[in-house]
A and B are shown apart, each in its own frame.
Chain A
Amino acid sequence: MKRVVLAALLGAALAAQAETPEQILASYEAQARTRAPGFAGFSATRGQQFFSARHGSEWSCASCHGAPPTGQGKHAKTGKAIAALAPAAGSERFTDPAKTEKWFKRNCNDVLSRACTAQEKGDVLAYLLRSAR
């Protein structure tokens, strides 16, 4: 609701970009269906495991975003506060697809030294959406 009012105020250009976390999840699902032949849906449990694993690096996603991801995070290197990642925490998380993609690219690179797949992004988002306050 709030988003609709804001979009109306800011004009049509922004309205085209503003999305809900569920819409972003749906677009990952569409990608996963075309790219992974055996795609069998997203799993919040798998997302949670992915989120707290180090994948052989210094950091896990939880190192900066916390576990559970409903509270304020803290950048593992600089100490800067990071607003909670789970949409339920009331932030504007996962409402701007370009921003979401930019951070998946950077953070997956830092933690896994590669891009995340649509399956991994969807699992993580499913986990974040399940994390209620």
Chain B
Amino acid sequence: MRPVLLGVLLALPALSLAHDVPRVPPNPTYQAECGSCHVAYPPRLLPAQAWDRIMARLERHFGSDASVDEPTKRELSAFLSRNAGRRAAPAGEEPRITQTAWFVKEHRRANMRNPADCAACHSTLKGQ
């Protein structure tokens, strides 16, 4: 288990488009607004149009009210599109990272009770 975890820790920052996208500087607004109910998911894990769909219905966000005021919404949307990834996302109004093809493939060997709780297994995502 230890070596696997270590591998994950080392691999995470290098994920996906790391070679052509500079590492995302931490954004305090994003951490505060999108990191209060769950980890602040790394923006590169969904493409821009998937983030747009999520941002379009924050009042009914995966069964919770996650609404923010307009200026905050604009700031978050801009941050997410700027740092979004390019891999395909699932269709539908609420695209999940945990339902993208790459996620399912990467985690086929992990024992997933609650796949969206990244920090339970990836300590690099703790406190985010």
Contact = CB atoms under 8 A, between A and B. Distances in A.
Contacts of A78: 37-38, 114, 116-117
Q: Is the interface of A mostly helix, strand, loop or mixed?
A: helix
Contacts of A77: 37, 62-64
Interface in A68-111: 75, 77-80, 102, 105-107, 109-110
B119 interface: yes
Interface residues of A, number: 11
12 contacts: A75-B38, A77-B37, A77-B62, A78-B37, A78-B114, A80-B36, A80-B38, A80-B39, A105-B65, A107-B65, A110-B63, A110-B64
Contacts of B116: 78
B100 interface: no
Contacts of B38: 75, 78, 80
A77 B117 CA distance: 9
Given A78-B37, A78-B38, A106 B117 contact: no
B67 A80 contact: no
A79 B119 CA distance: 10
B37 A80 contact: yes
A77 B66 CA distance: 14
B120 interface: yes
